[in-house]
């Protein structure tokens, strides 16, 4: 591992706190050291208080901060003296410890101090760095890991046996570190937790961390356990969407809420799940207790989800036979599922959470495989993992998290998603917590927006094989399908019936009717498996009930689509799928309506553009967002008992009324 320290970069960060920020960001740049808010850093600085008296403040990373992007405001300044007094208490509950940490923070708007604040306080060093370095964890979690660590580091580090994070760990370090450290001590290893480095400067502490991790990497390399060669495998052509949707439905039922389930079928993932020693390697537990909190469950391998849930309940009773049930129970659904065909599946209440689980488990895979090369992977005993999972502070965090967004854990597919009503629908569903699969002919759909809960696919909806591929892609990304918005449509130039060419008629029908039939047919099974029931919203048209001259093909196609949905509503109600239609009119903020066209149409009616936009009974303008917001609400609980409905979004049209 190479140091990333750059003197030119470092000089742009002023003062010792600035240097702390810079070195923290360097650690955060390397995912083999810290991931998604993991790791911790601190610095002890002198500062005058309001009375002009100097006191030492511990600037420690705020709870939940991300080292890669942290700035000075991401550190909580906490008075050191009362922290050191706290560490002398014989006992202190972790919730009360957190309360005291907040009480001793000198800036009201500062983030909550990390739960490891007391641990950083008792270490007699100016700068302290803490990471979950993959290389160190691989050695630590191997057979005879503690002995191997002593072989690597000698007396340059102090090794502390495992104690759950919190006050008890800080108290143990306060007792043992002074007795076991000496002038040449540069770090500390907390078994089954992580590695610490110290220094009088930010650079010294950072580069000592790099040195400690490099020693572990070199040790693994000498024992042929650093580079793990895996066979090159490619996923088969077999569609996985129905199996994946069934798995997601089952796990969501156990979790008590919809979950995003992302399937990773890359060569590395497939090779890992097909290892001969997979059960022995993966069924022990995560590499550190921190990973229990972040992934919530140990992996599940080739087992029925309901059986897994029952095993979990039995395990809880075994490890906590006299314990009172926690006020906030964690759901027993796994967050990582390993399957020979589906590969590595990661789950979460959102696409971002599922992605974080995958990032963590991807590193876990490397650690487990390297530890196996050193004689075998060994995790903490199950009781320690359960204790960490039902820790007071984790329970408090869950209670404070608040209610999830409306469509958390759910997936919607939107056609015609690159512009107009379609794009507004994407934004409306994302704002409500859904993961979105957007289809459009426009290749720009693949670039907007760039976030983990959106997949944009260029797709001609009239190309059924390509449409099926797009559905497969979307399900592999998010695990299933809960909602479908049929928005893509074609509005041809006005043509009287006697002049309407058959090819033009068929072109409109292929887009506005046939493609939607294919979408309904290909997604029916997926919608049937939706944890909260499937929902379909079609974007119809005022022309269904009030057609205009020159729009025969368009009006007929939209009327036929409406009849298709009415029949589907009759047939699919027993499957828990509801289908409703919105009939917008005069939505002018779409690609169909240029300024020139608007001006020409307004002039035709002898109106200004603004008057033309509002030529409805309510004299109001209808926007794409208006339609999209109602489309999203139609999929929500307010309309849970509505199916087969047709709702105008037109400001009131006398011909329709």
171 and 293 together in one domain: no
Confidence (pLDDT) at 303:
39
Over residues 243-252, the mean pLDDT reads: 93
Q: Give yes or no for a contact between 114 and 63, defined as CB atoms under 8 angstroms apart.
A: yes
509 and 434 together in one domain: yes
Q: Is residue 370, in this structure, part of any structural domain at all?
A: yes
- 9-63 pLDDT, tens digit each: 999 999 999 999 999 999 999 999 998 778 999 999 999 988 999 999 999 999 8
SS3 for 47?
Answer: strand
100 and 216 together in one domain: yes
Residue 8: count other Cβ atoms within 10 Å of its Cβ: 6
Domain containing residue 382: CATH number? 3.40.225
pLDDT at 336 over 70: yes
Cα distance between residue 291 and residue 296, in whole Å: 8
Confidence (pLDDT) at 307:
41
> Which DSSP symbol is given to 383?
H
Cα distance between residue 268 and residue 358, in whole Å: 13
Q: Is residue 234, in this structure, part of any structural domain at all?
A: no
Q: How far is CA 178 from CA 86, 157, 160, in A?
A: 17, 12, 12
Residue where one domain finishes, among candidates 370, 400, 430? 400
Confidence (pLDDT) at 631:
98
Token reading at 197: 């480095």
Query: Is residue 306 very low, low, confident or very high in pLDDT (cuts 50, 70, 90)?
Result: very low
Confidence (pLDDT) at 291:
57
Confidence (pLDDT) at 323:
46
Q: Is residue 384, in this structure, part of any structural domain at all?
A: yes
Mean pLDDT of the chain: 89
Confidence (pLDDT) at 278:
86
Query: Is residue 314 very low, low, confident or very high in pLDDT (cuts 50, 70, 90)?
Result: very low
Confidence (pLDDT) at 402:
65
Q: Is residue 655, in this structure, part of any structural domain at all?
A: no
Confidence (pLDDT) at 358:
92
pLDDT at 182 over 80: yes
Over residues 145-164, the mean pLDDT reads: 95
Range of lowest pLDDT (392-401, 425-434, 627-636): 392-401
Range of lowest pLDDT (160-169, 306-315, 346-355): 306-315
532 and 596 together in one domain: no
Confidence (pLDDT) at 340:
86
Token reading at 322: 């006299």
Over residues 263-280, the mean pLDDT reads: 91
Query: Is residue 96 very low, low, confident or very high in pLDDT (cuts 50, 70, 90)?
Result: very high
Q: Is residue 656, in this structure, part of any structural domain at all?
A: no
614 and 565 together in one domain: no
3-state secondary structure 268-306: HHHHHHCCCCHHHHHCCCCCCHHHHHHHCCCCEECCCHH
Confidence (pLDDT) at 289:
66
User: Where in the sequence is the domain holding 462, given as residue range(s)?
Assistant: 411-587+623-649
Confidence (pLDDT) at 284:
76
Over residues 98-125, the mean pLDDT reads: 95
Q: Give yes or no for a contact between 579 and 565, defined as CB atoms under 8 angstroms apart.
A: yes
Domain containing residue 508: CATH number? 3.40.50.720
pLDDT at 313 over 70: no
Q: Is residue 654, in this structure, part of any structural domain at all?
A: no
Query: Is residue 449 very low, low, confident or very high in pLDDT (cuts 50, 70, 90)?
Result: confident
| pTM: predicted TM-score of the whole model, two decimal places | 0.88
pLDDT at 312 over 70: no
Residue 260, classified by CB atoms within 10 Å of its CB into exposed (0-12), middle (13-18) or buried (19+), is buried
Residue where one domain finishes, among candidates 222, 249, 273? 222
294 and 364 together in one domain: yes
**Element at 485 (helix H, strand E):** strand 483-486
Confidence (pLDDT) at 475:
98
Question: Which of 119-123, 162-166, 315-319, 341-345 is most confident?
Answer: 119-123
Confidence (pLDDT) at 373:
95
- 343-400 pLDDT, tens digit each: 999 999 999 999 998 998 899 999 999 999 999 998 877 666 556 555 555 545 555 5
Q: Is residue 270, in this structure, part of any structural domain at all?
A: yes
Residue 135, classified by CB atoms within 10 Å of its CB into exposed (0-12), middle (13-18) or buried (19+), is buried
Domain containing residue 189: CATH number? 3.40.225.10
C-alpha atoms less than 13 angstroms from C-alpha of 255 in its C-beta half-sphere: 23
pLDDT at 82 over 60: yes
Confidence (pLDDT) at 576:
97
544 and 603 together in one domain: no
Q: Do the bridges between strand 535-539 and strand 435-440 make them parallel or antiparallel, or are there none, so unpaired?
A: unpaired
Residue 583: strand pairing partners: 648
The number of distinct structural domains making up the chain is: 4
505 and 372 together in one domain: no
Confidence (pLDDT) at 386:
57
Confidence (pLDDT) at 151:
97
Confidence (pLDDT) at 309:
44
- The full DSSP string for 213-230 is HHHHHHHHHHTT-SS---
290 and 245 together in one domain: yes
pLDDT at 318 over 80: no
Confidence (pLDDT) at 294:
42
Residue where one domain finishes, among candidates 400, 433, 464? 400
Confidence (pLDDT) at 597:
76
SS3 for 516?
Answer: helix
pLDDT at 205 over 80: yes
pLDDT at 324 over 60: no
Confidence (pLDDT) at 154:
96
Identify the residue with better confidence: 573 or 342.
573
Confidence (pLDDT) at 300:
42
Over residues 393-409, the mean pLDDT reads: 71
pLDDT at 606 over 70: yes
Q: Is residue 200, in this structure, part of any structural domain at all?
A: yes
Share of residues in the chain with pLDDT > 90 (%): 75
171 and 85 together in one domain: yes
Token reading at 579: 């289908």
345 and 416 together in one domain: no
66 and 136 together in one domain: yes
């Amino acid at each position: 591992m190479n140091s990333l320290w750059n003197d030119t970069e470092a000089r742009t960060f002023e003062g010792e706190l600035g240097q702390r920020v810079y070195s923290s960001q360097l650690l955060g740049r390397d995912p083999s050291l810290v991931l998604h808010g993991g790791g911790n850093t601190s610095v002890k600085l002198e500062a005058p208080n309001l009375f002009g008296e100097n006191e030492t403040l511990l600037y420690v990373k705020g709870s939940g901060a991300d080292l890669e992007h942290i700035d000075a405001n991401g550190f909580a300044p906490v008075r050191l003296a009362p922290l050191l007094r706290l560490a002398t208490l014989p006992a202190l509950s972790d919730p009360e410890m957190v309360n005291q940490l907040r009480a001793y923070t000198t800036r009201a708007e500062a983030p909550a101090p990390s739960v490891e604040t007391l641990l950083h306080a008792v270490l007699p060093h100016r700068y302290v760095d803490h990471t979950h370095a993959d290389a160190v964890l691989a050695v630590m979690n191997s057979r005879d890991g503690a002995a191997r660590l002593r072989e690597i580091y000698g007396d340059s580090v102090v090794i502390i046996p495992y104690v759950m994070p919190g006050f008890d760990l800080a108290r143990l370090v306060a007792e043992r570190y002074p007795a076991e450290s000496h002038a040449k001590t540069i770090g500390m290893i907390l078994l089954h937790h992580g590695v610490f480095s110290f220094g009088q400067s930010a650079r010294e502490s950072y580069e000592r961390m790099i040195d400690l991790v490099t020693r572990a990497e070199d040790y693994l390399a000498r024992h042929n356990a650093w580079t793990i060669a895996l066979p090159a495998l490619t996923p088969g052509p077999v569609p996985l969407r129905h199996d994946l949707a069934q798995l997601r439905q089952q796990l969501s039922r156990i979790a008590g809420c919809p979950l995003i389930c992302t399937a990773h079928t890359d060569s590395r993932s497939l090779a890992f799940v097909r290892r001969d020693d997979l059960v022995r390697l993966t069924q022990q537990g995560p590499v550190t207790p921190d990973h229990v909190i972040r992934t919530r469950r140990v992996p599940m391998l080739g087992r029925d989800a309901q059986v897994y849930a029952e095993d979990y309940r039995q395990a809880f009773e075994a490890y906590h036979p006299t314990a009172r049930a926690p006020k906030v129970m964690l759901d027993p659904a796994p967050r990582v599922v390993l399957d020979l065909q589906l590969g590595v599946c990661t789950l979460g209440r959102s696409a971002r959470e599922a992605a974080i689980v995958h990032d963590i488990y991807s590193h876990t895979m490397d650690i487990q495989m390297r530890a196996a090369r050193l004689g075998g992977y060994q995790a903490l005993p199950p009781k320690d993992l359960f204790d960490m999972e039902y820790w007071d502070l984790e329970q408090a965090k869950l209670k404070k998290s608040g209610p999830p967004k409306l469509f958390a854990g759910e997936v919607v597919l939107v056609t015609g998603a690159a512009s107009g009503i379609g794009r507004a629908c994407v934004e409306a569903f994302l704002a409500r917590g859904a993961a979105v699969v957007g289809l459009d002919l426009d290749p720009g759909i693949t670039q907007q927006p760039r976030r983990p809960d959106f997949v944009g696919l260029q797709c001609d909806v009239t190309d059924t094989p390509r449409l099926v591929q797009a559905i497969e892609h979307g399900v592999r990304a998010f695990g299933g399908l809960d909602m479908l918005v049929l928005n893509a449509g074609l509005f041809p130039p006005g043509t009287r019936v006697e002049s309407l060419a058959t090819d033009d008629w068929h072109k409109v029908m292929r887009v506005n009717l046939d493609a939607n039939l294919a979408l309904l047919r290909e997604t029916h099974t997926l919608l049937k498996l939706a944890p909260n029931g499937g929902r379909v919203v079609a974007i119809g048209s005022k022309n269904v009930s009030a057609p205009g001259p020159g729009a025969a093909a368009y009006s007929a196609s939209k009327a036929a689509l409406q009849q298709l949905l009415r029949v589907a509503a009759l047939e699919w109600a027993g499957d828990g799928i509801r289908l409703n239609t919105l009939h917008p009119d005069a939505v002018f903020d779409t690609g169909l309506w240029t300024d020139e066209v608007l001006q020409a149409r307004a002039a035709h009616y002898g109106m200004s553009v603004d008057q033309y936009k509002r030529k409805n009974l309510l004299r109001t303008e209808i926007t794409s967002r208006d339609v999209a917001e109602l489309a999203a609400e139609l999929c929500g609980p307010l309309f849970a008992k509505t199916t087969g409905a047709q709702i105008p979004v037109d400001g009131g049209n006398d011909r329709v009324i």
